[in-house]
Amino acid sequence: MKRIVILTGAGISAESGVKTFRGSNGLWNNYRIEEVASPIAWERDPKLVLEFYNQRRKQLFEVNPNAGHKALVKLEKKFNVKIITQNVDDLHERAGSENILHLHGELKKARSTVDSGLVYELKDWPLNIGDKCEQGSQLRPHIVWFGEAVPAIMDAIQIVKRADIFIVIGTSMVVYPAAGLINYVSDETPKYLIDPNAEEVSGIRNLTIIRKKAGEGVPELVEELLGLGKL
Ligand code: NAD
């Protein structure tokens, strides 16, 4: 079976009603990123950080996967599919995709502040000051903040290197190290980029740019790859 590797970003969830990151002047849902998504922010004001992620998590319980997430599931009929996502939402999981690597953590999980191996599923949206791990330390969002290492990146590189087809959907490709993953894909591998605002990309061979929203562009590409459509 051929291997398809898919790198997704906030854009694939935009049509579900989840705001992208850089959509509005570098503000993420009216917050300055450095106020809420960094270890310094957590040290300075953990309550504000928890509130920010609580709002994101509450919203996540209210939205659903869209046509883009759902179309990717169909690829599993014919291909070995691996999704590497920068998203912290669970919309790929809820659409039914099997094989998902979260590079930047998961909104519906919390983890210990003394032992990063202690990760807990959150059944409901609020995580509060005073919520503790089994060792008695405050729980934090299970999110990779700006300035923190991305533990899953080495696994992601190994996956990307073996791609027979590589698809990038809805990412501005400015957050590293995720943005560098495309450089590990072999020159010969066909690559597709689906993003309505995609700019020209230089130095990447065999790249087809599809300037459409995920809800339209992904189902079309999937049909094409399954040998059904005409692109
Ligand atoms: P980004 O906001 O920097 O870029 C989003 C990209 O999506 C843009 O290039 C935009 O043109 C494109 N886009 C907008 N609407 C689209 C649509 N309907 N279909 C396809 N593409 C569309 O996001 P990023 O590159 O993923 O980086 C932001 C970081 O912030 C991520 O690492 C992630 O952890 C976090 N984030 C996650 C979510 C989420 O989980 N849904 C949402 C916002 C931010």
- Whole-number Å distance, alpha carbon 170 to ligand 1 midpoint, is 6
Cα 117-156-1 angle, rounded to 5 deg: 120
Specify the ligand 1 atom closest to the Cα of 107: 40
Instruction: Please work out whether the CB of residue 141 comes within 6 Å of at least one atom of ligand 1.
Output: no
- Whole-number Å distance, alpha carbon 193 to ligand 1 midpoint, is 13
Residue 118 corresponds to which amino acid?
A: L
Q: What is the pLDDT of residues 44-84, one digit of tens each?
A: 999 999 999 999 999 999 999 999 999 999 999 999 999 99
Mutate to test the pocket of ligand 1, among 171, 173, 213, 216 (most ligand atoms within 8 A of CB): 171
Q: What is the pLDDT of residues 129-159, one digit of tens each?
A: 999 999 999 999 999 999 999 999 999 999 9
- Whole-number Å distance, alpha carbon 23 to ligand 1 midpoint, is 8
Question: What gap in Å lies between CA 39 and CA 37, rounded to an integer?
Answer: 7
Report residue 26's pLDDT band, with 50, 70 and 90 as the boundaries: low
Asked about 92 being catalytic, the answer comes back as: no
Cα 180-67-122 angle, rounded to 5 deg: 70
Instruction: Please work out whether the CB of residue 66 comes within 6 Å of at least one atom of ligand 1.
Output: no
pTM of structure: 0.94
Tokens of 224: 């094409």
